Amino acid sequence: MLHPGPTPVRLTQEEKSLIRDGIEKVFKNLGVSCEEISLFGSRTQMNAKGGDIDLYIRFKPTSKPLDEWGLKAKIKIALNDLLGEQKIDIVLDDMQKDLGAFGKLIQNQKVELWKKN
């Protein structure tokens, strides 16, 4: 049986690799385990044009609270350094809080870019 290839998104392979590398570096520097990086929003729609990069990032919960605003800022800085100036929106999921209806929407439309084995 043939398995379908990866779902196409409006990012190049190089952009996907840079996103993964940048996010992994930020999490590694904080000593936090990143578990999944997915794309959602307009960049998952091949017939759309433009649009910001909407990222869903799932990570293992930590024993100490994380400053999520600070973490998002560090990720955006790292990605803008690697990709050039981009509009980037980030949803962080520590697998403990309920993301509500927005979380369900993301789960239904996200396209996985990377997942820890």
Question: How many angstroms separate the CA atoms of 34 and 93, rounded?
Answer: 10
Element of type H or E holding 20: helix 13-30
Summarised one tens digit per residue, pLDDT across range 27-77 is 999 999 999 999 999 999 888 888 899 999 999 988 888 899 999 999 999
Question: How many angstroms separate the CA atoms of 40 and 61, rounded?
Answer: 22
pTM for the model:
0.91
Asked if residue 109 has pLDDT above 70, the reply is: yes
Partners of 64 in the β-ladder: none
Q: Residue 87 — φ and ψ, nearest 5°?
A: -85, 115
Question: How many angstroms separate the CA atoms of 73 and 63, rounded?
Answer: 21
Q: Looking at residue 49, what is its pLDDT?
A: 85
Where are the alpha helices (H) located in 31-99, listed in sequence order? 68-83
